[in-house]
Chain A
Amino acid sequence: MSTTVNRVGLPRDAYKGAATTLCAGCGHNSITNHMIKALYELGVEPHLLAKMSGIGCSSKTPAYFVETAHGFNGVHGRMPALTTGAHLANRQLIMLGVSGDGDTASIGLGQFMHMIRRNVDCTYIIEDNGTYGLTKGQFSATADLGSVQKKGAVNTFQPIDPCAVALALGCSFVARSFSGDGKQVVPLLKAAIAHRGTAILDIISPCVTFNDHDGSTKSYSWVKDHEESIADVSFIPFFEEVQVDYEPGTVREVRLHDGSHIVLKKLGEDHDPTDRRAALRVIEDGRAEGHLVTGLLYVDTKMDDFVTTEHLPARPLKDLGEDDLRLSREDFAQFMSEFA
């Protein structure tokens, strides 16, 4: 057995969690493994990680990675509120939210949107399978128009595309991927974690039990056949040097606030990930052509995150004591006298 450790001296096993209770072959389990890889390779210190989730199959997964980290499995669709509060209390925490398509696009749509509006520094993963698994296969709001349910029912409603919604709201980091595409998910996860602000990562993650049949647009085979990556993405963390040489004009680099780099290698048409309107167009074009566009759609590295707009001190609010928080005796007496 290898004793390889990462930059904080931990082996890969330190990033594992409890055994999964999801179905064998569930896309979410792949995402969990990608998460373990990303967190291990980034050298995230487990005690600084806060794993947040709502309710549903996806929201169970924080129990399946980094067992020694704190986790909070809250109420349905309300992960953003808990995450916002926890981050305000301790801005040093690395907030990692895991949600699903029901959790995000239906019951929690409001919180999803308002978290983006505040640009709370967190990674927000949507494990998106277009169906309600735990309640046995109802359509969710991300199911595509015309997608067929296992028992034959056809979805008659327009889908809510979390990436398009996020882009419309001016989200500072928007990406889409596929649970079966670890080569893309892992660097996107790393980039999302390194990004300062709300990073939305919509990962299509097939539900093998209720939504993996012919006619579903969230099945393994459909996604494999229709995935169209806009660029090859790699991530170079701040603690590694950029060493790869590319031919001029073939890559775009995005430097994140912590000194990390996202390197995007052109595949087809050149997509500028700092152009929000272009990102919306890429999604729309893909949809019109029947493709699932994946990759880093948009990033804004300049936008202030929530603790910055709130003017919070560097020291976590949770660590402030009486001397920091109470009025002094003099101020208190003066203040009381003003009520006379």
Chain B
Amino acid sequence: MTKTWNNKAWFFVLPVLALVAFNALIPLMTVVNYSVQESFGGNVFFFEGTKWYSQVLNSERFRAALGRQLIFTFTILAIEVPLGVLIALCMPRRGVWVSVCLVLMALPLLIPWNVVGAIWNIFALPDLGLLGRVLNGIGFDYNFTRQAGDAWFTLIVMDVWHWTSLVVLLAYAGLISIPDAYYQAAKIDGASRWAVFRHIQLPKMKRVLTIAILLRFMDSFMIYTEPFVLTGGGPGNSTTVLSIDLVKIALGQFDLGQAAAMSIIYFLIVLVFSWVFYTVMMRNEGEGQS
């Protein structure tokens, strides 16, 4: 009955499917393949089963990297989400300043990752950089290349500077979609600023904030360029997060099997976290719907 229904659409989808297969599925399968084999030079492989997996999971080094990764991700989420919402709340809802604010907010998002790293690297240099000079000038012993705490501080400030805008823009989009009548009703009901936020703005922003948190989670969990450009994971291993460790294993030590297994575990962690978070948020969303 519906055979003529939009059959043409498939022709447009096919190239995309092919593209996805080449740049996502096939590489992924290759990694799966590596993760269960031992490789020697000259393309000689042995099947190893789950050996690499158990090795990775039991390694102190992996756990440490994962721990650093989790601390980093949750720290920036804890800063960027509330800060982003706060900035969005302060932005004007109409008038000429709207576009000015939006452009200012969008600026950091337009700068490539490695450039951000380079900018902050120079900006924070204790002897040359403005930030480093000022901090040292006012009495802090600040040197991100030597002190782990300073490296962390720089990394987090950098990420917050770079990505809070994304949360701001999403939260702002959620905010301006709230009809005026809600604010007027709240005024009439004598609601405090906090009550307006808690009962009108926050519920109406929930969907976009879910998206914002998901995006920021996934992206920060996979952060590589910034710590790499800043200190290459140092000082010591202090900023060696998962992706940096992975590259060290794969390209530094050329442990292809171990790196592959680690990649898969890494991938699954991101997948499971995102999935659980999304389902929990959306289940609440549907509650009371009928």
A binds B: no
Q: Give me the interface of B with A, judged by CB distance under 8 Å.
A: none
